[in-house]
Amino acid sequence: MNKLKALADLTTHTMIILFILLVVLALPQTVEAQDKADSLTIKSVTCFRHLIEENDMLIMVHYDIAYSGTLPDENADELYMIRMFDSGTEVAIDIPYSIGAQRGFNEGVGGFYWAASGSSPAWGGSYDVVLQGNPTVWGDVEDWKTTTTLGDSNWSNYDTQTENRVYLYLSILEIAEDLEADWSETLIVSGSIGDQLNETGSSYFNGAIPALSFMCPEVFSVVDIWPNWPSGEWEREYAESIADTVDDSPIGDLVEVIERNLSISYIAAGSIFVFICFGIVVFLTYARCGGQGDEGILVGLPVLMMGVRLGLLSMSAWAIMVVTLILLVGYILFFRHG
Rounded mean pLDDT, 63-77: 91
Rounded mean pLDDT, 57-71: 94
Instruction: Report helix, strand or coil for 105.
Output: coil
φ, ψ of residue 321 to 5 degrees: the values are: -65, -40
Handedness of CA 53, 54, 56, 59 (dihedral sign): positive
Q: Residue 18: what pLDDT?
A: 41
Confidence bin at 73 (pLDDT 50/70/90): confident
φ, ψ of residue 86 to 5 degrees: the values are: -120, 100
Q: Record the pTM.
A: 0.58
Q: Residue 130: what pLDDT?
A: 96
- Interval 218-258: pLDDT, tens: 998 866 555 565 555 555 565 566 666 666 677 777 877 88
Q: Residue 243: what pLDDT?
A: 61
- Interval 177-229: pLDDT, tens: 999 999 999 999 987 778 999 999 999 999 999 889 999 999 988 665 555 65
Alpha-carbon distance 70 to 150, whole Å? 33
Confidence bin at 90 (pLDDT 50/70/90): very high
Alpha-carbon distance 149 to 127, whole Å? 6
Q: Residue 160: what pLDDT?
A: 95
Q: In Å, what is the CA distance from 137 to each residue of 24, 38, 81, 92, 194?
A: 14, 17, 11, 20, 43
Alpha-carbon distance 208 to 104, whole Å? 9
- Interval 273-296: pLDDT, tens: 778 887 887 777 777 776 555 566
Confidence bin at 270 (pLDDT 50/70/90): confident
Per the CB < 8 A criterion, the answer to whether 145 and 139 are in contact is no
Rounded mean pLDDT, 108-129: 92
